[in-house]
Structure 1
């Protein structure tokens, strides 16, 4: 999977979600409490606590889910580069809130012990991102494997399928809820696609300085086609700058002192 420039260049909101998922997943994983992190009928309709709601939004319920989920979140940062961090933050909050609401309604309607508790993690955001991925990301390469016609997008779909089926019905409900949230966003429900946060709120993402946030592409401008810029182009630019510096230095050596 490739989402354009490596790192989180022009994607501070995506970086914040990935880091938050890792910070919540790893400590709870070491304590062996993966199974207790998700929403269930009992803790939603009887005694829902704030910490359980937070962990259900960020902490993945197993190490494989953390690996696949973080990889998909990293790939989908391409949408933040296309629409900007402000609108992408609205997309994150909308898809997460709608997905959680749909999960709560599903728990109350189904009352099925086999889905209690639901698997935890940012499933709403991940599977909501598959909606613009399906409609807006074109296929750039096609190939055949064992007689099957595949494309470069197939690997992203396979990773999502693995995540969707990782915990059986417990992970299917959050995944489907995320897809429905993504469809509601695309249909511009309540005019959500026109909403933007005030600049001082949106700038909070860029003010968060993570240790790995600095990269050699930090100075590149933000464009709608940012995801299509390749690292090879960046390398060519750096090489041209180096040759120019060498040429200038040699020219100074050849110039006699007055």
Structure 2
């Protein structure tokens, strides 16, 4: 399994809200037999029946249980990007990538209608694969391992989830996934205008969302691990003392070896992590705490 920093949804309330909302919408659509109303199809839904609401409904729910499972797991891994960017920027990117991808989806359906491309699968494919592109390009590898002589890394688990999700609804998932991936490339390239890259959900709207929704579902910080004393009680390792009942003993206590001096962070590693969007002060502190290891420092910053 991929470590992914601090487990759970700590410091990633938007990711948690997205997973919960998509899962709830998908279950409700199944219970009330509304799944045929989710997918996007130009003819006849848009061109003849003018069901423009499908441009929105196609993003809010998956059509079957396997998509809910793999899509939810894939979105869970995207919480690292929210911790990196911050919740407001992450939520803005989800909205913006969904809008841009919808335009691309409709364009592909119009151009591909004569080739048999008539519909796309329901689900938040666009923002998922736009985020996946950012995950691939900006989240560093945590560890590597060998399987049957082939060197792999921890990101392989995310790639397998994305492939399984894509193949589960093939071929109807190809267009929204490809459009989402292209959207991720556009928003990270120089093609996108500065306005698009810097667009954020208006501050007033975000304050309302944060105060009346995200605050109620945010996850608390994970508990620190504790060690156990000889009698079985949990104790903090930083304040643990020998269980001597307060009596002094004449046994010599071995001297604690002096801590190794920490390696000074190199300017190259500092610039590397600053380029990922972290503040210089936090970068220097993390590199000092990890002996100038950029991968461990990134993990520390993402989990902070």
**Structure 2 length-normalised TM:** 0.68
Q: Decide whether the 8 Å contact of 1:99 with 1:177 is kept in 2.
A: yes
User: Is the alpha carbon distance of 1:151 and 1:45 closer, same or farther for their aligned partners in structure 2, counting shifts above 3 Å?
Assistant: same
Matched, 1:40 2:41: yes
Q: Whole-Å Cα distance in 1 between the matches of residues 87 and 235 of structure 2?
A: 30
Matched, 1:235 2:225: yes
Q: Decide whether the 8 Å contact of 1:125 with 1:178 is kept in 2.
A: yes
Residue deviations 1:132-177 (CA, integer Å, cap 9, x gap): 1111111122222233332100010011011112111200111000
Match of 1:200 among 196, 201, 204: 204
Q: CA deviation at 1:242?
A: 9.8
Residue deviations 1:196-252 (CA, integer Å, cap 9, x gap): 3333222234224479825441xxxxxxxxxxxxx58x33599649959x9xxxxxx
Tell me the residue number matched to 1:131: 133
Q: CA deviation at 1:36?
A: 4.2
- Report how many aligned residue pairs link the two structures: 233
Match of 1:159 among 158, 161, 175: 161
Tell me the residue number matched to 1:49: 51
Q: Decide whether the 8 Å contact of 1:118 with 1:173 is kept in 2.
A: yes
Q: Whole-Å Cα distance in 2 between the matches of residues 203 and 241 of structure 1?
A: 40
Tell me the residue number matched to 1:148: 150
Residue 24 of structure 1 aligns to a residue whose secondary structure is helix
Matched, 1:99 2:89: no
Residue deviations 1:104-136 (CA, integer Å, cap 9, x gap): 001111005754331011101110012111111
Residue 18 of structure 1 aligns to a residue whose secondary structure is helix
After superposing the two structures, state which structure 1 stretch, 178-187 or 84-93, moved more.
84-93
- Of Structure 1 and Structure 2, the greater helix share is in 1
Unaligned stretches of 5+ residues in structure 1? 218-230, 247-258
**Structure 1 length-normalised TM:** 0.79
Q: Whole-Å Cα distance in 2 between the matches of residues 67 and 113 of structure 1?
A: 31
Bigger RCO of structures 1 and 2 (CA < 8 A, at least 6 apart): 1
Unaligned stretches of 5+ residues in structure 2? 228-233, 242-304
User: Is the alpha carbon distance of 1:10 and 1:215 closer, same or farther for their aligned partners in structure 2, counting shifts above 3 Å?
Assistant: closer
User: Is the alpha carbon distance of 1:130 and 1:64 closer, same or farther for their aligned partners in structure 2, counting shifts above 3 Å?
Assistant: same
Q: Whole-Å Cα distance in 2 between the matches of residues 117 and 144 of structure 1?
A: 41
Q: Whole-Å Cα distance in 1 between the matches of residues 93 and 177 of structure 2?
A: 16
Q: Whole-Å Cα distance in 1 between the matches of residues 193 and 52 of structure 2?
A: 27
Q: CA deviation at 1:33?
A: 4.2
Q: How does 1:1-258 map to 2 (within 5 A)?
A: 1-42=2-43, 43-49=45-51, 51-111=53-113, 114-187=116-189, 189-191=192-194, 192-209=196-213, 213=217, 215-217=219-221, 234-235=224-225, 240=236
Higher Cα Rg: structure 1 or 2?
Answer: 2
